[in-house]
Structure 1
Amino acid sequence: MTLVRPHKPVKIDLNQDYPCPCRRKGHLLPIVLTEAFGCDRCQQIFVVEDNGQNIEQLSSSYPYKRIWRWTGYRWLIIRPGLSSLGPSIIIGIALAGLFMVLPAIIFWLAYRR
């Protein structure tokens, strides 16, 4: 029987270095006078979130935030839910549904006699 370590979040220490969640060989090093880390390999910047347990990658090339949680020995990626994708996605889905149903309603109204 193998024991599985629980994935409990651990508060991130701003004075410690961590492995980079993007690259296996990179290390996150604290950026002085900030609550952020920089990777020595991929040059990405990561900001510690308010709860102190997650980091967010500062990047504008992804449609959603990339967030990781430190478990004490590795990073776990946090998958975004619908709320973090933004209301524009939800509105788009609602409009697509409306445009699919609207022709059916018009057809039903025209031929119900």
Structure 2
Amino acid sequence: MPSQKDQKIDLNNDYPCPCRRRGRLIPITLTEAFGCDRCQQIFVVEENGFAIEQLSTSYPYKRSWRWTGHRWSTAHPGLGDSYLPVSLLIISVLLIAAFCLAQISLPALPANIIVLYVIGSVLLVLVPTLILWRAYRR
């Protein structure tokens, strides 16, 4: 299994593009930068040499990645990388609150109704989870 420790970026090598799956980062001569042959983005090597930063005027936040020797990993994960855990937490809290309210308001529910409610609750968690997972995976 490849090492997950960050490796220093060699300016003489080419790497896969962190934005596109099929693009390749090719060193730009006489600079400390790489250019993608597919998406035409330019990436500058940060001062420490362990990360690259995307140069873009259209994106308001700086995006940077670290090379693990096998793939790029996000150097500074933002809120976009944590949508799935945050959404799962919110959905879980809402379901627990709804279940507690249902138990308080209707304490004498038959067992089969409670089982149906639990199955429905699990589906309400799983469907958005699968949708978010499919939308944000790379």
Q: As a proportion of its length, which structure holds more strand?
A: 1
Structure 2: state its 5+ residue gaps. 79-138
Which structure features the higher share of helix residues?
2
Aligned to 1:31: 28
The equivalent of 1:56 in structure 2 is 53
Runs (5+) with no aligned partner, structure 1: 82-113
Say which SS state the counterpart of residue 73 (structure 2) adopts.
Answer: strand
Give 1:98-109 correspondences, 5 Å limit. none
Q: Which residue of 2 aligns with 1:7?
A: 4
State percent identity of aligned pairs.
73
Alpha-carbon separation, structure 1, partners of 2:27 and 2:2: 27
State the 4+ residue runs in structure 1 displaced beyond 6 angstroms.
Answer: none
C-alpha separation between the residues in 2 aligned to 1:7 and 1:74?
9
Contact 2:2 2:70 in 1 (8 A): no
Instruction: Give the alignment's Cα RMSD to 1 decimal.
Output: 1.5
After superposition, the Cα gap between the structure-2 partners of 1:25 and 1:7, relative to the gap in structure 1 and judged at 3 Å, is same
The Cα of 1:78 is off from its aligned counterpart by: 1.9
- 1:7 Cα deviation after fit: 2.4
TM-score by length of 1: 0.64
Number of residues of Structure 1 aligned to a counterpart in Structure 2 = 78
From 74, 79, 83, the equivalent of 2:76 is 79
Q: Is the 8 A contact 1:57 1:66 kept in 2?
A: yes
The normalised TM-score by structure 2 is 0.53
